[in-house]
Copies of this chain bind each other. A is one copy, B any other.
Amino acid sequence: MELLSTNVSFDGEHRRYRHTSATLECTMEFAVYLPPIAVGPDPQKVPALWWLSGLTCNDQNFMQKAGAQKKAAELGMAIICPDTSPRGVNLPGEDDSYDFGSGAGFYINATQQPWAPHYRMHDYVVKELSQLVESELALTGKRSISGHSMGGHGALICALRNPGRYVSVSAFAPIAHPTKCPWGEKAFKGYLGDNPAGWEEWDATLLIPEADERLPLLIDQGTADDFLESQLNPEALVEACVQHSHPINLRMRSGYDHSYFFIASFIDDHLNHHAAALGLS
């Protein structure tokens, strides 16, 4: 992997890298925050929080806007931000809409042409990129995962589909039941085909009944989020959790919207939650 840039941040380092992804068959960029103890001449290995961003984002939105580095530096936690889709693969229609194709990979593995060979963001995040950064950077290999909106749901399915791989999971305003909302229906139809039976393994709400591991779900959701009723549907996820005794903590945050101002307001709570699971506090 090629180092593109480094910014010192709270005495740690924000770095951007480029690499060739075998899973996605394209060149990808990603960002890493390493806390002070994981940089310098004698770096110590640290656990990592994986952050999955939402529609239209790349690896930079969270690093620039969430204000997470101060707490991560204090805790001794790395943060890994992948991009949100393959890039530059030149598929027809790839850049035509904000909610499908570029910037909208949904952290699933596509089965339909022409998306199938490239749009495999689940395997990229869970397998290839973690293997790469854990071999190249000062990381222990202990992982938590979180994200926002499309990425909040991405965090939930990465955790639910891969028991034992993440020690904790949280989400901000996740698209909680994508097989039953316009964003999810459009994406799943495009990437997975017309038959909704093939969509179920990628829907967090539908994965709850079969979950092998009862990893508690920590979710923050703003009450003034413009997408709450039409797209996000946290009550469906809560209902599935209640029915199947899956621990969930859905915190409705009065007056907050879907923006990074909302994420920044509560990111420290999430970092503390993950730090406890990672053995950092």
Contacts and interface: CB of A to CB of B under 8 A. Distances in A.
B8 A255 contact: yes
A9 interface: yes
Contact of A9 (B8, B10, B265): B265
A123 interface: no
A227 interface: no
Contacts of A69: 261, 264-265
Where chain A touches its partner, the secondary structure class is mixed
B67 A262 contact: no
Interface residues of A, number: 23
Contact of A262 (B7, B257, B259): B7
A7 B70 CA distance: 22
Contacts of A67: 67, 70, 264
Interface in A68-119: 69-70
Nearest to A255: B8
Contacts of A70: 67, 264-265, 268
A7 B257 contact: yes
Contacts of A259: 7
Interface of A: 7-11, 14, 64-65, 67, 69-70, 222, 224, 255-257, 259-262, 264-265, 268
Given A8-B255, A9-B261, A10-B264, 18 more contacts: A8-B256, A8-B257, A8-B261, A8-B265, A9-B265, A11-B265, A14-B261, A64-B64, A64-B65, A64-B260, A65-B65, A67-B67, A67-B70, A67-B264, A69-B264, A69-B265, A70-B264, A70-B268
List 7 tightest A-B contacts by C-beta distance, closest first: A67-B67, A7-B261, A9-B261, A8-B255, A8-B256, A10-B265, A64-B65
